[in-house]
């Protein structure tokens, strides 16, 4: 297994969009990110001020112009994101009203039409990614089963199997579209999604007959909130990790609140997201593991912090990532002591006549 140097630093633009400059335009954000030391940007495709997804799918010229504009600031596109659209591929009716906020007005109050829109958005993203020369894409799986995660009342036999079959049936045409254009779909394993840990990822893999485009966006912050071993997770799933969010978190349970303490404001929860370096995530070991396993990823800073401002988080994020990137060695540290192969000498060492 050949080690590989992680690319970066890059920044996910979703949480920085605003009505005020420089955060209200692609040029403004690119200039801002470049001046902070970022080398790449991850683009949320639901932000029409940044990209016209349908046009990107239909026009290679448009994509070339987009890449040229971004490149003029010394940046490149790391990946496109359809997290919000992916969420709408599968929505349990209990969440219809809240998730309608993710859809255009023409598709609200009509779950079937909304799902069809979301699936088409993902298909656009497949071709747009190829037109932009991208091999990976980030999204959410959506969820039909999340409301049953804690089994009370007791789940009927077969419910989980049926839920994952339905989820797979909705995603398979999308995955086939991505396969046609040679792009991997990287699911961000996340609380609230049916793909929220290793076991559920494996269920989805099985339900899709191990579709070769099913891969992972690794974000350790979500595993801190679940109290899942995010380091060992890399050992299990490194071959699927094609995207990487650098986002921190902490879990501070008390006698009053723990894993399910989600009714509080973010700053008052036992599990809460923090800016990179301010939480409990062991990024030193993560960067080492991902490098050791040769994971070909961009290190993309995602800001979600209940205390620190996004501006400060972004300013600190670029050097934080840069200082954690390991230049993978191409030689062994003890090569100087090596010798050429001498079979007679080897036999003498082993005591072989």
Residue the block writes with tokens 């692609």:
26
CA pair distance 170, 177, nearest whole angstrom: 12
Q: What is the DSSP letter of 263?
A: T
Per DSSP, the three-state class of 188 is strand
- CATH number of the domain bearing residue 288: 3.20.20.150
Does residue 91 lie within any of the structural domains? Answer: yes
Q: What is the pLDDT of residue 353?
A: 79
Q: Which residues of the chain have pLDDT under 50?
A: none
Contact (CB, 8 A) for 125 and 137: yes
Does residue 2 lie within any of the structural domains? Answer: no
Does residue 107 lie within any of the structural domains? Answer: yes
What pTM was computed for the model? 0.95
Per DSSP, the three-state class of 50 is coil
Q: What is the pLDDT of residue 185?
A: 98
Q: What is the pLDDT of residue 195?
A: 98
Range of the domain at 234: 7-350
Does residue 45 lie within any of the structural domains? Answer: yes
**CB neighbour class for 30 (10 Å; exposed up to 12, middle 13-18, buried from 19):** buried
Q: What is the pLDDT of residue 295?
A: 98
Q: How many domains does the chain have?
A: 1
Does residue 211 lie within any of the structural domains? Answer: yes
Q: What is the pLDDT of residue 337?
A: 63
Give the residue among 196, 300, 311, 302 at the shortest CA–CA distance from 247: 302
**Could you give phi then psi for residue 264, rounded to 5 degrees?**
-80, 160
CA angle, 13 as apex, 11 and 19 as ends, to 5°?
Answer: 145
Residue range 165-220, pLDDT digits in tens: 999 999 999 999 999 999 999 999 999 999 999 999 999 999 999 999 999 999 99
CA pair distance 133, 182, nearest whole angstrom: 10
Does residue 1 lie within any of the structural domains? Answer: no
CA angle, 248 as apex, 254 and 212 as ends, to 5°?
Answer: 115
Does residue 12 lie within any of the structural domains? Answer: yes
Does residue 322 lie within any of the structural domains? Answer: yes
């Amino acid at each position: 297994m050949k080690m590989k140097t992680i690319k970066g630093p890059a920044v996910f633009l979703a949480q920085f969009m605003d009505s005020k400059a420089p955060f209200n335009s692609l040029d403004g954000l690119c200039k801002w990110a470049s001046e902070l030391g970022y080398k790449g940007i991850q683009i949320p495709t639901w932000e029409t001020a940044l990209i016209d997804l349908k046009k990107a799918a239909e026009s290679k010229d448009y994509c070339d112009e987009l890449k040229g504009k971004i490149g003029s600031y010394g940046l490149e596109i790391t990946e496109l994101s359809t997290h919000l659209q992916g969420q709408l591929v599968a929505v349990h009716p209990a969440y219809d009203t809240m998730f309608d906020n993710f859809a255009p007005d023409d598709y609200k109050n009509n779950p079937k039409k909304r799902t069809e829109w979301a699936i088409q958005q993902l298909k656009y993203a497949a071709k747009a990614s190829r037109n932009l020369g991208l091999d990976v894409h980030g999204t959410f799986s959506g969820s039909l089963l999340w409301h049953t995660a804690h089994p009370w009342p007791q789940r009927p036999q077969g419910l989980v199997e049926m839920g994952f079959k339905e989820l797979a049936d909705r995603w398979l045409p999308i995955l086939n579209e991505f396969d046609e254009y040679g792009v991997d779909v990287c699911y961000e394993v996340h609380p609230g999604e049916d793909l929220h840990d290793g076991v559920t990822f494996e269920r989805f893999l099985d339900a899709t007959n191990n579709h070769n485009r099913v891969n992972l966006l690794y974000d350790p912050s979500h595993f801190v909130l679940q109290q899942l071993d995010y380091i060992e997770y890399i050992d299990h799933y490194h071959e699927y990790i094609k995207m990487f969010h650098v986002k921190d978190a902490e879990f501070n349970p008390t006698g009053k609140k723990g894993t399910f303490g989600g009714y509080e404001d973010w700053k008052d929860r036992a599990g809460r997201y923090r800016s990179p370096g301010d939480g409990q995530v062991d990024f030193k070991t993560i960067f080492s593991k991902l490098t050791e396993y040769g994971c070909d990823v961009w290190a993309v800073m995602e800001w979600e912090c209940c205390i620190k401002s996004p501006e400060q988080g972004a300013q600190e994020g670029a050097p934080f990532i840069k200082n954690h990137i390991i230049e993978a060695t191409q030689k062994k540290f003890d090569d100087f002591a090596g010798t050429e192969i001498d079979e007679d000498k080897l036999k003498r060492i082993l005591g072989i006549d």
